[in-house]
Structure 1
Amino acid sequence: MIEAFHRIKRLPPYVFAEVNKLKAEARAAGEDIIDFGMGNPDTPTPQHIVDKMVEAVQNPKTHRYSTSRGIPGLRKALAAYYERRFNVTLNPETEVVATLGSKEGLANLAQAITSPGDIILVPNPCYPIHSFGFIIAGGSIRHMPACGGDATFQEDFMRELERAVTHSIPKPLAVVLNFPQNPTAHCVDLAFYEEAVKFCKKHEIYILSDIAYSEIYFTDTPPPSVLQVPGAKDIAVEFSSLSKTYSMPGWRVGFAAGNEKLVGALTRIKSYVDYGAFTPIQVAATAALNGPQDCVDELRALYKERRDVLCDGLARFGWDVPKPDATMFVWAPVPEQFREMGSLEFSKKLLTEANVAVAPGVGFGEYGENFVRFGLVENLHRTRQALRNIRDFFSGSTE
């Protein structure tokens, strides 16, 4: 028997597969599963964006191959967004590349810059592509615990970063940052980025920042960008996405922006592996960035309301869960009475006993154990039904 392919051998079994299998079996049996498991927005893409795509698709010229780095208008729109949102100036020709979502961009950048054995520093827990993109590319991952309390998180993270660099041989190539973070919803301020840029410049380490959730926030102060730090473009590239901001997950449009060398490396790799998103989608994405932004305000309000209903409802029967300041996720500690079974078994129990699907925290890394992640992707009616189901499950488990 031929052994498994080298890169496949480096990928562990997909933790979420067990929950997904149970979910599919329950639905096949006619069960109504209330699904918070995946961060897959349930609201329709704003109509003006859809209309622009429909208009563009009527032109047969848009049916041909597109441009892998993004059409000029789209790259200019992203640069304009950074100018008005972060007061950061970008050259759309050399410092911006369009991607098929931030996930594809990160994976292809990993292929572009990683040599076998290169060390990449990655928070744990984390969105899987942040680590596995580099594992697939042949790199070695050093995880940094990123699960402390909000009050000390930034100090703890910088301490872990310093420790990781001190004890890594060879010196790390890059560090991945993701704030607001998936899955924990941790946020950082501009002072954190200033400290991180200073440290990484000193040690000649690239910063790979993912701000896919930068527009889904519930505080008066919007999350910052690492590129706001003077000189950050010397070492940093930042990934963003339209998936959550404009409820466009299936459209697959994102960006990388910042350091010319990193953007150039990603652009070159992409020129070999894709022709870019379908041109009408890129035209519509341009309309999203340049057009009215009240749709983004409405999405923020929607996710905030869902967050409050879920967290307040859980608290009423003793499951105290912190309210996140950003993202479309709630990172919930497994209740004490179920802690021994672990996050995977608890998730399976919620599914089979309460018809509620969540993502087990261990699926995001070992430091995600004893947590589960709720995606705020069910409407208020179904969220309240989920709360009743969980309440009844908790009551039954203590009788």
Structure 2
Amino acid sequence: MDVASRIKKLPPYLFAEIEKKVEKIRNQGKEVIDLGIGDPDLPTPEFIIDRLCLEAKKADNHRYPSYRGLSAFRKAAASWYEKRFGVTLNPDREVVSLIGSKEGIAHFAWCIVDPGDIVLASDPGYPVYKTSTMLAGGIPLELPLLKKNQFLPDFTSFPDSVLKRTKLIFINYPNNPTGATVDHRFFREIVHLAHDYDFVIAHDLAYSEVSYDGYNAPSIFEVDGAREVAVEFHSLSKTFNMTGWRVGFAVGNEKLIEALGRVKTNIDSGIFNAIQWSGVEALGRTQEVLDWIHPIYTRRRNLVFEALQACGFEVEKPRASFYIWVPVPTGYTSMSFAEHLLERTGVVVTPGTGFGQYGEGYIRISLTSPEEILAKAMEKIQNEL
């Protein structure tokens, strides 16, 4: 018996491989501090949990949910977009619910890409951009994000012959893993390019609400012409500490949203209605949550940034996301330094190559641990260097 060739081409998922190494260290009786995966340690706000408990007791919510998502959830998403970005959306035609934004991103390539089509995927970037392209039969090409360009793509590095064959581009700002941010000018440039070369933009906006120092991440739909060429993915996971709840949504071009919904009707049965009602509650009370989490993440960012600077790392203080992108010391690769830290200190970090070839030379540190744990991890690293 053999598996399909498309499965053979898929690389092992990075975090699954890291888990194996961590388990080995734990089995040796060593303490492990995990700063690898970006999974918020803060609990889901109580008012969201209360809404879940209320809705879970209603018999009507126990049946199959709508494929597109509850009308109330889609309206809540549209209302949040209007309040947050000043963008008006039709909840019936321009919004679709997702079982977490990862699910939507993974399925979106199937809506756009035919075998042999080129997809430009941010590198370093979320691995799902490339793997979903491969599963759809497309050809993923790296869209390099380099420090010299402030981790923004340089489209002039691609010849016309490539851009003319490109069907889809995956971008993500605020960026995971680099923490890079953009302004409206960047979106105007890429939207103009999409119109010129007739490609679709998939913008992953999962980290829009985790920001610092007064920075507010923009939506691509705040610029003219985006609605004709783009879809934007958002998740409740990071803002509301709901990673395990698996709830998100996509918004944008009506034709593209309809195509994504059509794929979903053939694959899943939607999100449990009680969770969608919890999402309605969350989206309607966003500011309460931000007033709580922003000071916490700001203190964590400052603690780790200052500790890394004291160790001699040439790090930049991110304006958004809960990651710090750290150049590795001379003489190490991303993987060898991550393994060195794990073996010598028990601190888990993510090697940059897990996000693509242009992640070489970096590690990613997640801020999703309490301050005392972060301080302990930084002390262990400082003592080792």
TM-score normalised by structure 2 residue count: 0.96
Q: CA deviation at 1:16?
A: 4.3
Q: 5+ unaligned residues in a row in structure 1: which ranges?
A: 395-399
Q: CA deviation at 1:319?
A: 2.4
Counterparts of 1:174-253 in structure 2 under 5 Å? 174-253=168-247
Counterparts of 1:158-177 in structure 2 under 5 Å? 160-164=154-158, 166-168=160-162, 171-177=165-171
1:342 maps onto 2:333 in alignment: yes
The answer for the alignment partner of 2:295 in structure 1 is 301
Aligned residue for 1:293, secondary structure, equals: helix
Matched AA of 1:276:
G
The answer for the alignment partner of 2:305 in structure 1 is 311
Task: Go from structure 1 to structure 2 and tell me whether the alpha carbon gap of 1:44 and 1:317 turns closer, same or farther (over 3 Å shift).
Answer: same
Counterparts of 1:1-399 in structure 2 under 5 Å? 2-149=1-148, 152-153=149-150, 157=153, 160-164=154-158, 166-168=160-162, 171-291=165-285, 293-336=287-330, 340-394=331-385
User: Higher mean Cα deviation, 200-209 or 313-322?
Assistant: 313-322
Aligned residue for 1:168, secondary structure, equals: helix
- 1:76-120 CA distances to partner (integer Å, 9 max, x unpaired)? 000001111111110000000000111100111112222111111
Matched AA of 1:326:
A
The answer for the alignment partner of 1:397 in structure 2 is none
Aligned residue for 2:181, secondary structure, equals: coil
Is the Cα contact below 8 Å between 2:175 and 2:321 reproduced in 1? yes
Q: CA deviation at 1:162?
A: 3.6
Is the Cα contact below 8 Å between 1:147 and 1:184 reproduced in 2? no
Task: Go from structure 1 to structure 2 and tell me whether the alpha carbon gap of 1:292 and 1:88 turns closer, same or farther (over 3 Å shift).
Answer: closer
Percent same amino acid among aligned pairs?
A: 39
Matched AA of 2:119:
I
Is the Cα contact below 8 Å between 1:96 and 1:263 reproduced in 2? yes
- 1:159-180 CA distances to partner (integer Å, 9 max, x unpaired)? x324325141761001111000
Q: CA deviation at 1:380?
A: 0.8
Is the Cα contact below 8 Å between 1:19 and 1:348 reproduced in 2? no
Matched AA of 1:374:
I
Q: Distance in 2 between matches of 1:292 and 1:128?
A: 28
Q: 5+ unaligned residues in a row in structure 2: which ranges?
A: none
Q: Distance in 1 between matches of 2:13 and 2:290?
A: 33
Is the Cα contact below 8 Å between 1:212 and 1:239 reproduced in 2? yes
Matched AA of 1:318:
G
TM-score normalised by structure 1 residue count: 0.93
Q: Distance in 1 between matches of 2:17 and 2:58?
A: 45
Is the Cα contact below 8 Å between 1:178 and 1:211 reproduced in 2? yes
User: Higher mean Cα deviation, 70-79 or 306-315?
Assistant: 306-315
Matched AA of 1:316:
A
